[in-house]
Structure formats: structure tokens, C-alpha cells
Structure 1
Amino acid sequence: MSSSSLFPGREFDAFLFDMDGTILTSVLAAERVWSRWAERHGLDPEPLLANLHGVRMVDTIARQNLPNVDIQAEARWITDRELEDIHGVVPVPGAEQFLASLPPDRWAIVTSAPHELALRRLSVTGLPMPRVLVTAESIKHGKPQPDCFLLGAEKLGFEARNCVVFEDAPAGIKAGEAASAAVVVITHTHSQPRELGHPAIADYTDVSARTTADGRLEIISVA
């Protein structure tokens, strides 16, 4: 068995993790709720679900251009049902151990989910609670804008360009790129790896984090 760095010759200050689809799986629960919401408004769920993941609820609702709709009220309706529907919400393999191995002040969760829902899903899965949690309410502009990752890095005391973003969805990957961060694509919830010019891993079972002599972080892949 051999090991190698996912980013040869590079060390990082901190890791920034998306949540849904990246460290936990909530796709089925989210799609159940959003399908119900689409049907309530006479929308075809299929195109909605195809562009759902990785962005804030309010942004997805706004894109539907529904007349006379209170976006915040609709987001509350969806949040309430996602808080209830936890069937199939489980950690991505190896995520719990990987997160627990990191220095607590060197990682954050940066999610498009509302704060309340993020806490609920982290609690259900038993994943470690981060010291820094950036959620939908934390920023004005959601993914694919870089604001969330810039803020996550800032709260940890670093610059995003010296961090690694772990993402699964196109909007989040674009946000990581826009923040000038290194990006690792998690493919656990996708049938095919995304060819986006970034290292891709299925889950965290064959990777580990190593703290270097000068206190920085490397990502090691075990083959």
C-alpha cells in the first residue's frame, strides 16, 4: 500500500467543507420535500431537482419566478419539512473519522442549508460540530458566488486561497474556484466522477490529513 499527496508540493492552512453531499448524504430527503413543494405550485419536479443541490433555498425558489409568492415563507415551509424528514440522512463513509482527526481550529463547514437544518443534520449523523459554521443566513450572496468560503476562511483566521474546499455540487465547486481555493470533489452521491480538473475522491475512507512540521495541513491518499 502506497500513499501520496492529493496536491503534491502544497500545504494548506485549513479545510472548508460543504455539508450536504460532501460530508453527509441528504439527497433523497431533500428531493422528497422539494418534489412536494414543486407539486404544490404546479411545477415539474424533474428540472427543479436537477438544479437544486448546492444552492440556498431562497435562491432556488426565486429562480422559479412564481407570481405572488413570499420567498421567505416558502423557504420556511421547506425547512420545516426537511427538519422532519431525516430518513436516509447519513454520513459519507469515513467523514466522521476524517473530521475528528483535524485540529479543531483548522476546519469549518460552509453550507447553503439554513442554520437550523444544518444543526439538525449534523446531530442526526453524529458528525463533529465545527467551531465555525457558515450557513445560508451568514452571507448575502450564495454559491456559486465565493462569499461563503471567503467568510469561512476569515472566521478561521486564514485566506481562502490557502485553504482546501471540499465540494460535490457544481455551484459549490464554482464558489471554491472563485474564492481561489484548492478544490477536492466528493463523488459519493454521483454515479460518475465530475471531470472538472480537480482531484476527486468517492469518500474519505482512503484519505487522511497530515499536520506538517510547520503546523500546516496535507491531504494524503492511500492507494
Structure 2
Amino acid sequence: MASSHTLKTYQAFLFDLDGTLISSTAAAERVWTRWAERHGLDVARFIPTIHGVRAPDTIRRQNLPDIDLAEEAAWVERGEIEDVDGVVPIPGALDFLKRLPPDRWAVVTSASVPLARARMGAAGVEPPAVMVTAERVDRGKPDPSGYLLAAQTLGVDIKDCLVFEDAEAGITAGEAAGADVVVITAAWTHPLETPHPTLADYAQARLEVEADGALGFSIET
């Protein structure tokens, strides 16, 4: 019989998108592999660093000489918008989201609005009322700005939020914001060690929506 950790109650859930609500890893890695090959990078070393980070920030970190950052980021974004083959929801994610009050959750993603909407459409995820995308923050993950903005927009204290993440940059952002963090492992191709609770997928997630809209959450084991 499944057992469950004690329910903890939150005022809102803040979700990363790629690797957390949807599986887009293969599509993203296909595009970034082509980009890395164009610039002579070591693909095997480079690819694990792309996840959870805004495209311009990823490109900037390579310190490539004589490139147009905006042009390179646009090239990657076009490729990712066009390539949604195999982009699907994380198992159980759609049902989990449908059970949430619409004013109690948000998406905080390093993707741009066009890319986020393209991938959500491919996976059948209905965009929430509150989405914090790459364009809305001056500093992307691992900076906590996105999660802090989402909590503020929802009108809740970040300390009363649970962040759902899958990548190191996003986990660090959630920690720095001051929220609790749970890590989704369903789409991992590059596993990492984390002290946070992990979910293989949303079948393990126990959710109770209280009369006042508060969200009780625990993980079945």
C-alpha cells in the first residue's frame, strides 16, 4: 500500500515548464546540438549546461568571439519553435493542473513567450493566467527574480509557495527565492543530486485543495 509524507499546505504552486510540466528535452537538445556544432563546441560537455537557462545567457557563457548575441539567440529560438516533435506532457501533469484553482499557480520559464506557447500547445497544456517568461525578468535563472515576480503577481508570499523544478539553475532559483522546492525527474537525461524531494512523475503527487483554496501537497511513496 502506498504511504505518504505529511501534507504541507501552500498558497500557490510555481512551475518551471520544460522538463517539469512538459518533456521537451530531446527537441531542445537537437536544436542546441546543431548550434554547438556550428560553433565548434564540445557537444557532450555543452549540452548538459543548456537546461533551465535563457538562451542568450547560455550563449553568452560560451565567450565566443565576434558573434551577434541577439542573432544567435533568435536562430536557436526559431529552431526550437519549429521543432516540437516529441514534446509531450509529463505523465499526470495535465490532470494535476486541472485540479488547481486558476489563481493559485503560475509558470516560471526561461523560454520566451512564443517558444513557451509553442511547446505548451504541442503538449496540450493550457497556459495559466500568470506566466513569467524570459522577457519579463532582467536576470534569468539561477537568479530568483522570476519566482519572486510570480509570487508577487499571484499576491502570495514566496515562502508560502512550492516550486516545481527539474534543472540545477531552476532549483537554485527556487532556493534563492525562499520557496520550498520539489524536483521532477521524469525528463532527466543528465541526472543530478539534490537534497529536495523528488517526483518521478505526477502519479506520486498527492494534492488536496482546501475550502479556502490553499493547496495541500505530499509525495506518495
Shorter chain as normaliser: what TM range?
over 0.9
- CA displacement at 1:119 relative to structure 2: 0.4
Deviation digits for residues 64-83 of structure 1, max 9, x if unmatched?
Answer: 11111111111100010111
Corresponding residue for residue 201 of structure 1: 199
Corresponding residue for residue 4 of structure 1: 4
Equivalent-residue separation in structure 2 for 1:100 and 1:197 (angstroms): 28
Equivalent-residue separation in structure 2 for 1:99 and 1:208 (angstroms): 12
SS in 2 for 1:205: helix
Corresponding residue for residue 155 of structure 1: 153
Query: Normalization by structure 2: what TM-score?
Result: 0.95
Shift of the 145–19 alpha-carbon distance from structure 1 to 2, 3 Å rule, reads same
Equivalent-residue separation in structure 2 for 1:74 and 1:66 (angstroms): 11
Aligned residues: 221
Equivalent-residue separation in structure 2 for 1:188 and 1:9 (angstroms): 22
Query: Normalization by structure 1: what TM-score?
Result: 0.94
Equivalent-residue separation in structure 1 for 2:102 and 2:155 (angstroms): 13
Shift of the 183–80 alpha-carbon distance from structure 1 to 2, 3 Å rule, reads same
Corresponding residue for residue 177 of structure 1: 175
Corresponding residue for residue 80 of structure 1: 78
- CA displacement at 1:213 relative to structure 2: 4.1
Q: Please, which of 109, 115, 131 is the counterpart of residue 129 of structure 2? A: 131
> Among the aligned pairs, what percent are the same residue?
52
Q: Which runs of 5+ in 2 are unaligned?
A: none
Q: Which runs of 5+ in 1 are unaligned?
A: none
- CA displacement at 1:174 relative to structure 2: 0.5
Shift of the 94–171 alpha-carbon distance from structure 1 to 2, 3 Å rule, reads same
Corresponding residue for residue 24 of structure 2: 26
Greater than 4 Å deviation, 4+ residue runs: 191-194
Deviation digits for residues 189-217 of structure 1, max 9, x if unmatched?
Answer: 22686442211110101223212244311
Partners of 1:23 and 1:91 within 8 A in 2: yes
- CA displacement at 1:3 relative to structure 2: 4.8
